[in-house]
Amino acid sequence: MKVIIGSKNPTKVQAVKEIFPTYEVHALDIPSHVSSQPYTDEETRLGAINRATQCVNQDSDAVGIGLEGGVMYVENQLFLCNWGALVTPTNQIFTASGARILLPIEIDEQLKAGNELGDIMDDYANRKGVRHNEGAIGVFTNDLITRQEMFMHVVKLLRGQLEYWNN
């Protein structure tokens, strides 16, 4: 069995490898066809579905997975949000979201100024490549939950649904 993950971001690729250990895992750089910084649950989830669908279009024997990061408001407060989608060769679509965490007001202001969260996080935390490593969720949980761990949970939710509806 084969799974294609529509990103080369190591936090996403590793998450899929951990949760699908018996599958052959391929990583392809696939566009999300939504804004580079999604701002709602709907847009973030659509980005994940778009990536997963394009993965299956590349190889009709494979299961496609898309993982997408975004932000969303809950009562005027900005939260990190992440969505995953899994598309099967017969076009079943499963989606699931990841843990959310409040972002400081400074991050909200920087995003409104048009910067991408990945770049803002490097400046804010004075680190390099936060998006490829611990992620914003790692920074704001004192490294207790990394971006890969958060994505692992999302991919587990996808795999579980795939198995439930196909057994």
Using the rule CB under 6 A, is 146 a contact of ligand ITT? no
Phi, psi of 68 (to 5 degrees): -135, 135
Using the rule CB under 6 A, is 35 a contact of ligand ITT? no
- Tell me how far, at minimum, the Cβ of 24 lies from ligand ITT, in Å: 20
Phi, psi of 84 (to 5 degrees): -125, 150
Using the rule CB under 6 A, is 36 a contact of ligand ITT? yes
- Tell me how far, at minimum, the Cβ of 30 lies from ligand ITT, in Å: 8
Using the rule CB under 6 A, is 19 a contact of ligand ITT? no
Which residues 117-136 are close enough to bind ligand ITT by CB under 6 A? 117-118, 121, 130-131, 135-136
| CA distance linking residue 37 with residue 25, whole number of Å | 26
Instruction: Yes or no: say if 98 and 151 are a contact pair by the CB < 8 Å rule.
Output: yes
Using the rule CB under 6 A, is 149 a contact of ligand ITT? no
Using the rule CB under 6 A, is 154 a contact of ligand ITT? no
Q: What is the DSSP string of the chain?
A: -EEEES---HHHHHHHHHH-TTSEEEE-----SS-SS--SHHHHHHHHHHHHHHHHHH-TTSEEEEEEEEEEEETTEEEEEEEEEEE-TT--EEEEE---EEPPHHHHHHHHTT--HHHHHHHHHT-S-GGGTTHHHHHTTTTSS-HHHHHHHHHHHHHHHHHHHT-
Using the rule CB under 6 A, is 7 a contact of ligand ITT? yes
- Tell me how far, at minimum, the Cβ of 90 lies from ligand ITT, in Å: 25
Using the rule CB under 6 A, is 116 a contact of ligand ITT? yes
- Tell me how far, at minimum, the Cβ of 9 lies from ligand ITT, in Å: 4
Stretch touching ligand ITT by CB under 6 A, among 6-14, 16-24, 99-107, 151-159: 6-14
Catalog residues that contact ligand ITT under the rule CB under 6 A.
7, 9, 12, 36-37, 68-70, 116-118, 121, 130-131, 135-137, 147
